[in-house]
Amino acid sequence: MYKLLEFLSAFLLCSFTANAANINDQQITLALKYAKTNDWEKAYSLAQASSSPKLANSLVKFKELLSGKYPLSSLITFHDENPWFPVCRFQDDIEKRIGISSTLQSIISWHKLCPAKHESARFLENYATSSLNNTIPSSKFFEHWAKISNLNPLIDQQIFDVYRKQIPSSLITRKIQNFMWQGNYEQAIYYSKFISPREQMLTKVKVSYANNLSGYEMLVKRYPKLKNDEYIKFRHIRKLLKEKRDTEAYNEFAPIKHFSNPEQWWKARHTIVRNFIREKQYKRAYRSAVHHGTKTGDEFQEAEWISGWVALKFLNTPKAAANHFYNSYMDCQYASCKSRAAYWLAKSYEKLNDKPKMEAWYDTAAKHKMHFYGILAITEHPKSLNKKFFDYLPRKEPAQQNMITPEIDNLVASTYYMSESGNNHIARILSKYIADSDLDPKIKHLVAEHLKDRKLLPLRIQYAKFLSNHKGPFLECGYPTDIHISNNKNSKSLYLAIIRQESNFDQSAKSPAGAIGLMQLIPSTAKRCAKTLGLHHNAFRTDPKANVAKGVNYLDGLVEYFGNIAPAIAAYNAGEKAVERWIREFGDPATMRSVSEVLDWIESIPYTETRTYVKKVLENMVVYESILQPDQPQFLASLLGK
């Protein structure tokens, strides 16, 4: 139970007070903009002059603390003075900033308040405890030190200097290897000074190769020992895969018997598995996937899922598949992951003719009603046929205004001001905190209504997405429809679904790749569509209507060209050439007869981002169809033309 919820439990029926935050105070927004540029004097001056100086000063102070300017003790004081603010949700940021100036006592006190999240923080807490207690570190302590590769370098070296005589060279070598795996070559070279001259030289050679990735054959010929070095092999195989030298990559990969960093290896292993699926070498694909070696987390969930999928769809071993899907399901934390594993468990038991288990897992998947596989489960479950999808959405009416306490109001106001001032990272964490807390769903709905009133569209949509991943209430306001779309050849739901996935309806959105606006158009695509529409080729940059018009034109062309929305959506994300290649390799969705075939095509897409993108857009479409045409529900089969 979160500390905030414990604090609020006695206040859930309180009404707003005169001290509740004024959401429309531009002074606070401006103060946080100055805080973003580290102009603290101006930021505090504006905060003090605002209508809610206590809140404003607290937010500016937190920005300053998060910059690492003050010691941990100041964060503890901030928490004591602002118990409503979820300081512990910023552990990713704070633990990186625990520096050599932090006292041992403050480290211990901080982690009593916020339990250590990362391995390095747990080690540092143990170090602080043993140092204050004057206990002699055990061998496990030094093994733990060797395992950690992301400590603050000054702290890391300080610990090493204190205990250098007690640390065996084998652990220093292990420490160097871990630095190599993390890409921290500077630290690897530093610690190589404390091992044998030959090992020091080999470390420098490995770093040199890792930085340029050329001359592998010459490298292992000159230094035969490096031929069996796991990290060098790892970098070489990744390079081969990137260059599409798949056979060579597998020949290097196959003889490896032990993987010391299976999570690091997973991306390369996954590529090899996908290559075998493309080549229809399903037994080799399964063998490559099933020995993944991961224990938990995203890599484990994906490895178990794809092992199950290959076993079920291509090897006809549904019992083995069910075991893999169950492993994935039990490790999943989020609805999208759980619904996928549950759906395929149902499919496995359907193949095994186990009707009770099949129906039970369909029911489990269908609980996640706003996610792709939850939607599929609803449409395929016998009990769900011929019912409107909208009937299944977990809608909640907003709470009464008097259920919002001043503390919750402060949280909502903080989220708003951080977003308005461009402090999006903090705003995102705050909105996620509200979404996945145990607050009454009605209160969560009312929070969204506040965000709706304040016209924070991108933040509101992100908040709705967070809620859907935590079985929160369905928020229709998280699916905007008030975008003018004209001259379109397809359902409006398609374009809205694309916009929601591409930009969260943020008109100013710009991707690292240079995609711009609501529909995230790249300049070359916009220029091509401009000629057809008679628009200036640069209009998409600043004019949302032009951006949408060009995006609609481009998307309509893709649907017409591919004859089915699944490859069209994939092409919007990955490009036409990639999709043409996948059609050659996995079949053409336009000619497939069933949703099951199209589903297998989607899951065969080798790009993780595009696979996820297609499913997200399709799930958005189903919800949009239910909003736009509640009396004429459209399920995936009809949207896919099947």
Give the pLDDT confidence of 489-506 residue by residue, as tens digits: 999 999 999 999 999 998
Alpha helix locations (H) across 457-575? 457-468, 492-503, 523-533, 544-562, 565-574
Task: Identify the three-state secondary structure at position 436.
Answer: coil
pLDDT of 399 higher than 60: no
Highest mean pLDDT among 95-99, 387-391, 513-517, 584-588: 584-588
Within 10 Å of residue 241's Cβ, how many Cβ atoms? 20
Query: Is residue 447 very low, low, confident or very high in pLDDT (cuts 50, 70, 90)?
Result: confident
The pLDDT, as a whole number, for residue 198 is 95
Residues composing the chain: 642
54-76 average pLDDT score:
92
Mean pLDDT of the chain: 88
**Element (H or E) spanning 380, and its range?**
helix 372-380
Residue 596 structure tokens? 């099951």
- Whole-model pTM: value is 0.88
Q: Are 428 and 462 in contact (CB under 8 A)?
A: yes
The residues assigned a catalytic role are: 502
Distance CA 14, CA 131 (A): 47
Smallest CA-to-CA distance from 467 within 446, 483, 481, 453 is with: 446
Asked whether the predicted pLDDT for residue 486 surpasses 90, the reply is: no
Residues of the chain with CATH 1.10.530.10: 492-639
Query: What's domain 492-639's architecture?
Result: Orthogonal Bundle (1.10)
Q: Phi, psi (5° rounding) for residue 487?
A: 55, 30
